[in-house]
Amino acid sequence: MKKYTLAEIAEFLQAELRGDAICVVNGIASLDKAKQNQISFCAKIPGFASDAGKYLSITKAAAVILSSKDAERYSGNALLVADPYLSYAKLTNLFIEESKSKPGIHETAVVGQNCDIHSSVAIAANCCVGNNVTIGEHSVITANCVIGDDVKIGNDCHLYPNVTIYHGVQIGNRVIIHSGAVLGADGFGMANDNGEWRKIYQLGAVRVGDDVEIGANTCIDRGALEDTVIGDGVKLDNQIQVGHNVKIGAHTIIAGCVAVAGSTSIGKYCMIGGGTSFNGHINIVDRTIITGASVVGRSITDPGVYSSAVTVQPHRKWMKTVSRLLQLNDMAGKLYKSKGK
C-alpha cells in the first residue's frame, strides 16, 4: 500500500496546500466513503449531476482536493486546484498497485524472424509474435497475446492478455489495449454472386495513433483497400465494433458497445454515448456529441448534441403508445386535413 504526505501530493499536483503538510494518506476515496487515512476530491463528474458538495461537511477524508470556491466551505486539510476532477485523474498515477513487467522475452513465448524488439520490451508467457515485427522501447506485451507478421508497435505501449493483432497493423506510442481486443480482423466485405456471397479479401490494415486506449473485446477491422485509421488520443471503451475503413478523429471518446459501420468517418473531439450505432459511409463533423443508445443513420454536418433514444416506460403504457405510434400517419392525415378546412 502506497503512502504519501500531503506535501508530496501537493507538489505532484502543483496544488496549493492548506493544512497539515506531513499528514500521510494511503489511498483515494469518494467523499462519502473516505476513511481517515484517505484523500478525496470534490468535483462534478462530467455528464452527471453531482452531490459531491453536500458530502464536504460530513467527509472523514484526511484531505480534500477542491476548487478555491468549494474551499471556502471546508475547514479540513485542502489541496486547492483549478480542476479537481483532472487533479484526481493525475493523482491516480501515484496509487497504481499493478506490478511492473520485467524486460525480456519469456521462455514460453514464440517470436518469429527479422523482428526488431527493443531490449526494454517485456513479452510475457505464451505470447506468439510473427515475423518482421517491430516493438518500441518499454512496451509490454502481457501473457497469451498474438501479434501477426509485419506489425509495428511503438514505445510505452501496454497490451493486456489475450489481445490479437493481425498482420500489418501499425500502433503508435503509449497505446493501451485491453484483453480480448482484436485489431485487424477482416472487414466485412462480400460481393453477391447469384445469391451467394464471395469474400472480398481485405488488403488494407489498421493504423492506430499515439495515446490511444482500446477497451476489452473491442474490434477494429482492417480496411478493404486503404487502412482503417484511429487518430491520436482516441479513447475507445469495451465491446466497440469499428468497421473497415472507418476513420476516427483525434481525441474523440467513444463509450462501450458502440458499432461503427464501414467507411464512416467520425470527426475530432467527438463524444459518443454507449450503445450507439452508426450507419456506414457517413461523415460526422468534429465536436459532435451523441447521447447513449442512439442510431446515427445520416451524416451530421453541424456540431451539437444529438439523440434518438426513448427511455423505458411501464410496459402496458408503452404498448399503448406503440400501437398509437403505428397509427400516427393516419392521425396526422386527420389532423392536418381538418385543420386545413
* Pairwise CA distance, residues 341 & 321, whole Å: 28
Residue 208 in 3-state DSSP?
strand
Which amino acid makes up residue 89? A
Helix (H), strand (E) at residue 79: strand 78-80
Q: What is the sign, positive or negative, of the torsion defined by CA atoms of 47, 51, 56, 61?
A: negative
Angle subtended by helix axes 328-340 and 315-325, to nearest 10: 60
Compute the least distance from the CB of residue 97 to its own copies, in Å: 7
Residue 77 or 276 having the CB closest to its own copies: 276
- Which among 102, 101, 109 has a CA at the least distance from the CA of 130? 109
Three cell numbers at 318? 408503452
3-class DSSP assignment, residue 332 = helix
**Nearest to 213, CA basis, from 244, 240, 245, 191:** 240
CB of 106 to its own copies, least distance (A): 7
Q: Calculate the CA 154 to chain-centre distance.
A: 19
69 versus 298: smaller Cβ distance to its own copies: 298
CA distances from 300 to 230, 261, 289 (A): 19, 15, 10
Q: How far is CA 202 from CA 77, 151, 172, 240, 244, in A?
A: 59, 16, 22, 20, 9
Taking the least distance from each CB to its own copies, the nearer of 120 and 217 is 217
Tell me how far, at minimum, the Cβ of 70 lies from its own copies, in Å: 17
Q: Which is nearer to its own copies, 148 or 154 (CB)?
A: 148
List the catalytic residues: 244
Least Å from the CB of residue 314 to its own copies: 6
Name the residue among 62, 71, 87, 68 with its Cα closest to residue 10: 87
In this structure, are residues 116 and 99 in contact, taking their beta carbons and an 8 Å threshold? Answer: no
Distances (CA, A) of 337 to 68, 308, 332, 340: 61, 28, 8, 5
The least CB distance from residue 243 to its own copies, in Å, is 7
Residue 127 DSSP class: -
Kindly tell me which of 24 and 319 has the beta carbon lying closer to its own copies.
319
Min separation Cβ 233 and its own copies, Å:
5
Closest to its own copies by CB, 77 vs 164, is 164
Nearer to its own copies, 170 or 239 (CB): 239
